[in-house]
A and B are shown apart, each in its own frame.
Chain A
């Protein structure tokens, strides 16, 4: 009997942990006032991937190779102070529970920007960027099966432009 209860409790806890992801955070904040929210679905990513010749402007990066590996993009931008703080707290909890690895952190005059990834040496399953500037918090979450070398090359390429 105790084994059964333990199993049920473990299952419920794991379900609760599973619920903490980019989507749940997006759903929680996207409808609030003073929140800018953008969501791109896996279906839309598949549609973008099917467009044969996506124009690449000079000075822009070619996202063609990586776009097919993406399955979701969640963006939240919040200016209201208390809500922004709540978002930052929620994202930090989700980062800790999701076993994300800190990729980069930059701090300057109270502004903080952190990037996290979760995956293995070859594939990134989720990329999260949390940036706090004054009273504004920006949250970007990219889900997919992104080859790590392609993602790093793309970011480096864009940074050099």
Chain B
């Protein structure tokens, strides 16, 4: 039996001569194995043929997405040209935010006072007056 290296070194004429030599026995499973090998090689070639175009398509899709994101979301124009006016606006914003925080704190305070009153009346109703003298 020849090794694969020896077979690859053979010329086309030698290969043809050997293939026509009917004295050499052909294994029964050989035709099936050859078909499988050819099918596998064709599948790989098909896959390879698709990788390049789909890679290009993916790259184009990414570029389009990045482009769309950047063009649809440009930096707006500054509302103020004068930094003093801009500063005054920022100050106004912080006073609005702090006003809202103060409002929230006031509500918490009111709730605490209601809770205190509730505790006082609860105490008055069930416990003798000397207990709530304070």
Interface size, chain A (Cβ < 8 Å)? 54
The answer to whether residues A104 and B93 also contact, given A4-B55, A44-B86 and a CB cut-off of 8 A, is no
CB pair A41 B78 closer than 8 Å: yes
- A60-84: which residues lie under 8 A (CB-CB) from chain B? 60-61, 63, 67, 70, 73-75
Chain A residues within an 8 Å CB radius of B54: 1, 4
- Does A32 sit within 8 A of B, measured CB to CB? no
Taken together as a complex, chains A and B put the C-alpha atoms of A5 and B54 apart, in Å, by 9
CB pair A24 B77 closer than 8 Å: no
- Does A102 sit within 8 A of B, measured CB to CB? no
| B55, B76, B84, B95 interface centre (most CB from chain A within 10 Å) | B76
CB pair A115 B100 closer than 8 Å: yes
- Does B128 sit within 8 A of A, measured CB to CB? no
CB pair B100 A63 closer than 8 Å: no
Chain B residues within an 8 Å CB radius of A138: 96
CB pair B94 A39 closer than 8 Å: no
CB pair A40 B97 closer than 8 Å: no
A50 to chain B, nearest CB (A): 8
Taken together as a complex, chains A and B put the C-alpha atoms of A104 and B103 apart, in Å, by 11
- Does B89 sit within 8 A of A, measured CB to CB? yes
| Contact-residue size bin, chain B (C-beta under 8 Å from the other chain) | 35 or more
Among A38, A48, A155, the residue within 8 A (CB) of B83 is: A48
CB pair B83 A4 closer than 8 Å: no
CB pair A115 B97 closer than 8 Å: yes
Which A residues fall within an 8 A CB radius of B?
1, 4-5, 7-8, 11-12, 15, 18-19, 21, 23-24, 26-27, 30, 37-41, 43-45, 47-48, 51, 54, 60-61, 63, 67, 70, 73-75, 104, 106, 108, 113, 115, 129, 131, 138, 140, 142, 154-161
A-B CB contact pairs (8 Å), 22 listed = A4-B55, A8-B62, A11-B65, A23-B75, A27-B72, A38-B79, A39-B76, A39-B77, A40-B78, A40-B79, A41-B76, A44-B78, A51-B84, A61-B94, A63-B94, A74-B76, A75-B89, A106-B103, A115-B101, A129-B100, A142-B93, A159-B98
